[in-house]
Amino acid sequence: MNGAALFWFFAAVTCAGAVAVVVSQNVVRMAVWLIVALGGAAGLFFQLSADFVGATQLLIYVGGTIVLLIFGVMLTASGPYLRIKTSPGEGFLAAGVGLLFVLVLMSTVLTIDWNAGRLKLAGLGKVSADAYETALHKEGLSESDRTLLEQAYQPSAKADHAAEPAPKSGPAVAENPEAADSHGSAPKPGDVHSVPAALAYELNPGRRLTSAEAARLAALFGQEKAVVASAMPAQGDTIRPLGLALAGLRPDRDLNKVHAKAATTPGYLLPFEIVSVHLLVVLIGAAYLARTKRRRVEAS
Amino acid sequence: MAGVDLTAYLLVGAVLFVCGIVCMATKRNGIGVLMGVELVLNGANVNFVAFSRYTSLGLDGQMMSLFVIVLAAAEAAIALAIALNFYNNHQTIDVDRGSELQG
Amino acid sequence: MDPLTLLTAIIFLPAAGALALVAFDRKAEETMRYFALAITAATFMLTLFLWREFDSAKSEMQLVVNLPWIRQWNVNYYLGVDGISMPLILLTSLICLLSMMASWSIKKQVQGYLMLFLILETGILGVFLSLDFFLFYVFWEVMLLPMYFLIGIWGGPRKEYAAIKFFLYTLAGGVLMLIALLMFYFNSGRSFDLLHLAAIGQGKVEGFAFNPTVQIIAFILLFIGFAIKLPAFPVHTWLPDAHVEAPTPISMILAGILLKLGGYGIIRIAFPLCPFGAQYAAYALVLIGAVSIIYGAFAAMAQTDFKRLVAYSSVSHMGYVLLGMAVWKINEANGAAVGRDYWLMGMNGAMFQMLAHGISSAGMFFMVGVIYDRVHHRDLNKFGGLMQLMPDYSGLAVGIFFAGLGLPGLCGFIGEIFVVLSTWNYSKTLAIVAASGVILTAGYILWTIQRVYLGPEYKGPHAEDITPMNGREKAIAWTLLIFAIVLGVYPEMMFKVMRSSMDALIVSLDAGYQAVSAAVETAQK
Amino acid sequence: MNFESILTGVMNDASWGRSLGLFAPELILCVSIVALLLLRLVNADRWLPSYLIPLFASLTALGIAVYSFFQMHGAIEGIPTPGTTQTMFTGLLAYDSLTLFLRVFLLGFLALVVTLTMLSGIPDAEDGPDFYTLLLGSTIGMMLMSSANHLLILFLGIEMTSVPSYAMVGFLKGRRVSSEAAFKYVVYGAGAAGVMLYGISLLGGLTGTLEMPVLASRLSALLGPGGMNDPTSRTVALAAMMVLVGLAFKLSVFPFHFWCPDAFEGAAAEVGGYLSVASKGAAFALLVRFLLAFTGGTSVDLTSLNLALGVGLGVVAAATATFGNLAAYSQTNVKRLLAYSTIAHAGYMLMGVAAMVVLLNGPGGVDAAAKGEAATCIEGLLYYLAVYLFMNLGAFAIVAFIRNEIYSEEISDYAGLGRQVPLLGACMMICLFSLIGLPPFGGFVGKFMIFASLFQAGKIHMAMWVILVIGTLNTIFSLFYYLRVLKVMFLESRPEGARRARVSFMPSGAFVLLVTLPLLLLGASPLVNSMSDAATRVASMLVAAVR
């Protein structure tokens, strides 16, 4: 089955469910629509090869939390308030504010060039003139690659910046574990100030890159595996890495260091354990609130 | 999966988030508001999982979403207990009906 | 006794007494009164001892104590005395002693009253002795709290209004002072040392300077803060309410000491720290002083409430203090003071006026209190003929009122004449205005004497309650009158204490202004 | 790799053992929660007073926290160097002086609150285990908040703090106002947490990490020129604002304060006192950590974004203080009045944080001078928090004790109480004067430090001077409503037939005295120096870690 079609199907289900939750005038219907929306979201998780999260979503969220909510609806259902009337004025206001929110999010989140961001983090946001020239004059460079390189990069507009002792990409490279692996071929921070300032190249903010283009660019700079390959294996099977992370190990970060963990990569043993304490506290709190005050019969 | 990339997922997340916010703002029924919260949390979760697939956030994103699911369940449990309590005292769960605290 | 022990004892002995009062049984009121009286007397003795240790010939700070308090902020426990603070410290402990004696008229919640009274005394003495701006500010605000309750609990019918008004005005002034304090602190390389800050303000410290803008803004902030306390027109409106509503002993302290804090703040902080700002605003200050004199006198004349009249007379009298301090005339060409000796005379007059007013206004409020305790009203139109009924009282009262009026031979005269003479050098018009204030004062005081003490017969209620003064009351009144006479006949007693410090202050202010204005000139070129 | 080998790997890992050791105070609280549950299984709660376990646990944990605080500060004499910051649990939690300071703060406060509840009798013996479980659970959440070094912990800490506190607000479940307060609190709180989470997701996606210490350097690499025209900058600003909304909710900062008066009025005074101090302290620590995570790097774009953020925070702070003070005027209920006062004080403290952000993002960059000045801001904040603990707890404790006597929390029913219970009256006076910020009480020193840092920040951005003036004006505004309480208590006389209040010195009076005495000590004694010294060290160590 076509992956894209599947995505659009789930996305449509999710969004339709969410909108229906907002529009519904009846609490029980809202709950049912919520199931639809969250189920759709679970589908999206599967689609994103996050199978364990998807399963958890179905089990805990759709299966547990929503059932809880429906219980709440049933236990508190008193005729007149089961249906909630929203006045048209309120409805329009809410729709307007909602639309505004969507626009704000559109104008920020959705206009970002995420691939460019990733390249920047990997230290490819600004490359030294040497590295750029080397890539541009590589043997067997296709015409499309050359165009890509020329369009993706432009000589650094802020010459003074490149000349600073600590270039922007410096610290990011050093701290990015993925980039650190491929340090050999990546531009060294030192390169930048060895060439004239104006001859550093940085990503062209006017040119948005697709995933494929980003991958190609990274490849041109010799960084295939480290950066652009998706952080998660595309075929799924995230259960084992997740379980290991909960046990405090991070095989996804560095398989060679399973036993001598790198101190910088968080394992999630602490939150895993501490959430259990939290759940215990919540259980006791909820039980206290839900039970009627018992009167202890004194022996006397 | 041509044509489907990070932005598309983020769009779904944004829709969930905005619907949740609108739901919280408009519903008078306390449980309805809580459903809005669930939508918001799911919007964030879709983001997390999408980021974990497409950016170097990696496993951290999925991990985060797992914790969010668990914490949301805990929150819902307490919220419902409080809602029941409120209902027992007031015979309604209309948030605007609680009028004893004002000023 | 080493300075640390002596000065600390002076400041904190009353507070320690307040703490000790907790241990007393709530019913043993008489014992508590005597205990508190003993504390204030002991404090007075300590200040006399301080006077003996004090060397009038020296102009600099004496008996200095400087211990670190908050190191990160360079806040020190920094105390000292010079010729400016010494007379005021003596005045404070004396008036506190006398008003403690007058406190026998307080009947309710004696324990709380005495504790608050003693804490108040600690605050006032702390302000006069502090040489660290932060410490000064702390003590300044410490005075607020007891005063609020002293007016609010033991005051008259509109006590709550008066108390909150007093609190509000003083706190507003304090907040302005706080901003000025921050300005000085951060422009001086983090110092709260008033002497060091003064040296910077006068351009004597390499590497630091308060530039003219800072000086002007800071001076205005400080001046408003102190003018509220002084009180100068138009921020005086808290004073009539507070005075009228406060119980007699507290009115004595308010008029006798608290108002002096405003003048002291101007001399100790506002002028030395920003001479440029002070000179910049000098004309306005003189004007405010003159307006206060005239306004206060007219307002006093219009009153029918005896206490309100005395309160407005304070506004008028304190106007002389401001006027005397601000008659700083300069040669526009080089910035040097013109007729510096006149200015010095004005400053000395202002200082002396503070002392004289401390004695006379405390006395006037006490005298009003004595009659109020008997007839329970203060309506000037319902008195008359007290001379026949209470001859002792009326004689003492007339004496004290004359001291307030500024009759030659009594304390009020010296300060006023000095100030008026020095004003002549500054502006002849204003000198005439100030001198006419003297006439107005004579007018309303004589009229008051006529309405209250002279006249054919007592017209008001409770005529049967009019009894002669008791021994305690006589002792207070006599003490005040004697001081009024001694200061009037032998002003040198106080002048010799303050002379050398005043000289040094004037010289350094003059030099400081010249230094700063020279720097400004250079910068402009 | 099977389970056994993983387990062996984890067990053999020395860093886990080390982390657990450093985590001991929190672990003690966790254990005591379990102990409270287990004791109930064997019906031990019938003969064992339920406050014993939390009291014992908090005191033990406090002992450990104090010891480690002094140990850490003994190790660094003078100015600490960068790199003294350690982490726990593979970088999820920061183990630095702020962590320890807040641990001492929270655990000391917990011990005091447990003592207070023990004395005031809320909760009763039957509900004790439930109440203390919630109290301890919430405190663990706060401790996580204050040491969060990772965005997951940030969210987790806030949730762990909030969820039990929703239940605590509704703890008096038979009372209508209580359940209503809890319901409003949970609904709004959950919404704020959701918004915050969305912000975290954006931040995580942008930077590809959830670890806070590397946020700044990654953001410097990401942000493009052009300020708000750059979509990345816009998104970062949006995400930061969303996270700040969540924190602002916890801090009851305007315009996210609306839950606070309702919750405080509906909750028992003891719970109100607990929430007002502890959750504020933890949230401020977290706020400082979060904002410091944004600071650093060399990017001009990030710096200007931060500067805008700092000034924005300052404006919000000024609005909060003003709103809190003005809205407190018309209140007739003491707890509600104190709730508005809490809002106002959050405003003052936020001013200090705003000054810190502004100072760290000045034109000179993060140099030694800027760090020193920023450290002063944090010092002021910590001092304020320390003083705030005592003055607010004191006020709420007095309200609780008086409620037990006269069964009322209306200000008008307090008439003449100053004479009837002079000790409580005097302590209330000290607490309220300290809240106004008058010397010689501790509130003044804290406020002074905050104002001083605002003054310094004004040199970088003029707006901070305006905020300083608003802050000082607020001191005057606040005068009226605090004085109104005192006026009623002292200046009015107790009406005939009013219920007589009798509070004996032991133990209630002694407790109140114990809580109010530090206000005097922290305002006018050599202790000011010691406290300010400790706060300075914490602050400079924290700031030293900024690169």
- Whole-Å CA distances, C13 to A207, C283, C302: 79, 42, 42
Note the ipTM here.
0.87
Map residue D182 onto helix, strand or coil: helix
Contact of A239 with chain B, judged by CB distance below 8 Å, is answered with: no
Contact between C311 and C259 (Cβ < 8 Å) = no
The pairing of strands A126-127 and A201-203 is antiparallel
What is chain C's length? Answer: 525
Q: At C470, give phi and psi (nearest 5°).
A: -85, 175
Please determine, for residue A117, whether its predicted confidence score (pLDDT) is greater than 50.
Answer: yes
**CA-based nearest residue to D273, from D127, D425, D120:** D120
Chain A positions touching D224 (Cβ under 8 A) are 205
What tokens does D177 get?
């106002």
Contact between A220 and A149 (Cβ < 8 Å) = yes
Contact D201 B44 (CB under 8 A): yes
- pLDDT tens, position by position, D132-182: 999 999 999 999 999 999 999 999 999 999 999 999 998 888 788 888 888
Tell me, rounded to whole angstroms, the distance of Cα A18 from its chain centroid: 20
Chain D positions touching B13 (Cβ under 8 A) are 198, 201
B57 vs D163, D181, D209: nearest CB: D209
What is the pLDDT averaged over residues C13-19?
93
Q: Report the share of chain C in percent with pLDDT over 70.
A: 100
What is the pLDDT averaged over residues C55-79?
89
Residue C81: in which H helix or E strand, if any?
Answer: strand C75-81
Contact between C230 and C321 (Cβ < 8 Å) = yes
- pLDDT tens, position by position, B7-41: 889 989 999 999 998 888 888 778 888 889 999 99
Per the DSSP assignment, residues forming a β-bridge with A202 are A126, A154
CA dihedral defined by B46, B47, B51, B53, rounded to 10 degrees?
A: 10
What is the pLDDT averaged over residues C415-431?
87
Residue D58: in which H helix or E strand, if any?
Answer: helix D52-75
Chain C positions touching D448 (Cβ under 8 A) are 178
B54, part of any domain: yes
Tell me, rounded to whole angstroms, the distance of Cα A51 from its chain centroid: 15
pLDDT band for position D355 (cuts 50, 70, 90): very high
Please determine, for residue D109, whether its predicted confidence score (pLDDT) is greater than 70.
Answer: yes
Contact between C167 and C246 (Cβ < 8 Å) = no
Residue D526, preceding peptide bond in cis (omega within 30° of 0): no
Please determine, for residue D92, whether its predicted confidence score (pLDDT) is greater than 80.
Answer: yes
pLDDT band for position A257 (cuts 50, 70, 90): very low
Contact between C456 and C375 (Cβ < 8 Å) = no
DSSP D309: H
Q: Which residue stretches of B1-103 are H helix?
A: 6-26, 30-54, 59-90
Q: At C81, give phi and psi (nearest 5°).
A: -130, 140
Please determine, for residue C198, whether its predicted confidence score (pLDDT) is greater than 70.
Answer: yes
Cβ burial, residue D517 (10 Å; 0-12/13-18/19+)? middle
B55, part of any domain: yes
Query: CA–CA separation, C176 vs A158, rounded Å?
Result: 46
The per-residue pLDDT for A154 is 77
Query: CA–CA separation, A214 vs A212, rounded Å?
Result: 5
Chain D interface, best mutation among A193, A270, A292, A300, by max D CB count within 10 A: A270
Cβ burial, residue D206 (10 Å; 0-12/13-18/19+)? buried
Which of A125 and D390 is assigned the larger pLDDT?
D390
Map residue D410 onto helix, strand or coil: strand
Residue D255, preceding peptide bond in cis (omega within 30° of 0): yes
Chain A positions touching B71 (Cβ under 8 A) are 275, 278
Please determine, for residue C36, whether its predicted confidence score (pLDDT) is greater than 90.
Answer: yes
Query: CA–CA separation, C378 vs C360, rounded Å?
Result: 19
Contact between D140 and D180 (Cβ < 8 Å) = no
Contact between D381 and D352 (Cβ < 8 Å) = yes
Residue C146, preceding peptide bond in cis (omega within 30° of 0): no
Residue D354: in which H helix or E strand, if any?
Answer: helix D334-360
Please determine, for residue A296, whether its predicted confidence score (pLDDT) is greater than 50.
Answer: no
Query: CA–CA separation, D243 vs D201, rounded Å?
Result: 10
> Which residue carries 């509070």 as its tokens?
D503
Contact of C483 with chain D, judged by CB distance below 8 Å, is answered with: no
Which of D217 and C355 is assigned the larger pLDDT?
C355
What is the pLDDT averaged over residues D336-346?
94
Contact C168 D476 (CB under 8 A): yes
Query: CA–CA separation, D328 vs D321, rounded Å?
Result: 11
Within 13 Å, how many C-alpha atoms sit on residue C163's CB side? Answer: 28
Per the DSSP assignment, residues forming a β-bridge with C130 are C79
DSSP C69: E
Query: If contacts are CB pairs under 8 Å, which of residues 5-64 in chain A contact chain B?
Result: 7-8, 11, 14-15, 18-19, 21-22, 27, 30-31, 34, 37-38, 41, 44-45, 48-50, 52-53, 56-57, 60-61, 64
- Whole-Å CA distances, A12 to A102, A104, B54, D209: 16, 21, 21, 29
The pairing of strands D86-88 and A126-127 is unpaired
B40, part of any domain: yes
Q: Is the dihedral of CA B56, B60, B63, B67 positive or negative?
A: negative
- pLDDT tens, position by position, B45-87: 999 999 888 887 878 888 999 999 999 999 999 998 888 888 8
Residue A203: in which H helix or E strand, if any?
Answer: strand A201-203
Amino acid, single-letter form, for residue C96: C
Please determine, for residue D302, whether its predicted confidence score (pLDDT) is greater than 60.
Answer: yes
Which of A290 and C131 is assigned the larger pLDDT?
C131
What is the pLDDT averaged over residues C460-487?
87
Mean pLDDT of chain D: 88
Chain B positions touching D261 (Cβ under 8 A) are 101, 103
Please determine, for residue D76, whether its predicted confidence score (pLDDT) is greater than 80.
Answer: no
Query: CA–CA separation, C420 vs D267, rounded Å?
Result: 66
| Residue C456 CB coordination number (10 Å) | 8
Q: Which residue of B has its CA nearest to D160?
A: B71
The per-residue pLDDT for D34 is 93
Region for residue C106 given its phi and psi (left: phi exceeds 0; alpha: psi -120 to 50; beta: otherwise): beta
Residue C169: in which H helix or E strand, if any?
Answer: helix C159-187
Contact between C307 and C156 (Cβ < 8 Å) = no
Q: What is the CATH number of the domain that holds B12?
A: 1.10.287.3510
**Cβ neighbours of residue D8 under 8 Å, at least 6 residues apart?**
none
What is the pLDDT averaged over residues A150-171?
53
Please give the model's pTM, rounded to 2 decimal places: 0.91
User: Looking at the 3D structure of chain B, how many domains does it have?
Assistant: 1
Chain A positions touching B39 (Cβ under 8 A) are 18, 21, 34, 37
Contact of B15 with chain A, judged by CB distance below 8 Å, is answered with: yes
Q: Measure CA of the first residue to CA of the last residue in chain A; give whole Å.
A: 75
B98, part of any domain: no
- pLDDT tens, position by position, C144-153: 889 999 998 8
Query: CA–CA separation, B35 vs B38, rounded Å?
Result: 5
> Which residue carries 């000589």 as its tokens?
A155
> Which residue carries 């009406």 as its tokens?
D495
The per-residue pLDDT for A182 is 37
The per-residue pLDDT for C98 is 92
**CA-based nearest residue to A60, from C10, D467, B71:** B71
Per the DSSP assignment, residues forming a β-bridge with C77 are C67
The per-residue pLDDT for A77 is 66
B1, part of any domain: no
What tokens does C314 get?
């304070």
Within 13 Å, how many C-alpha atoms sit on residue C74's CB side? Answer: 15
The per-residue pLDDT for D512 is 93
**CA-based nearest residue to C308, from C363, C374, C360, C242:** C242
Contact of D480 with chain C, judged by CB distance below 8 Å, is answered with: yes
Residue D538: in which H helix or E strand, if any?
Answer: helix D527-544
Residue C468, preceding peptide bond in cis (omega within 30° of 0): no
What tokens does D127 get?
């509900």
Residue D94: in which H helix or E strand, if any?
Answer: strand D93-95
What domains, with CATH codes, occur in chain A? 2-111 (1.20.120.1200), 115-227 (no CATH), 234-300 (no CATH)
Find the domain containing B45 and state its range. Answer: 6-91
Q: Measure CA of the first residue to CA of the last residue in chain D; give whole Å.
A: 40
Sheet containing A201-203, strands listed edge to edge, beginning at the edge strand earlier in sequence: A126-127, A201-203, A153-155
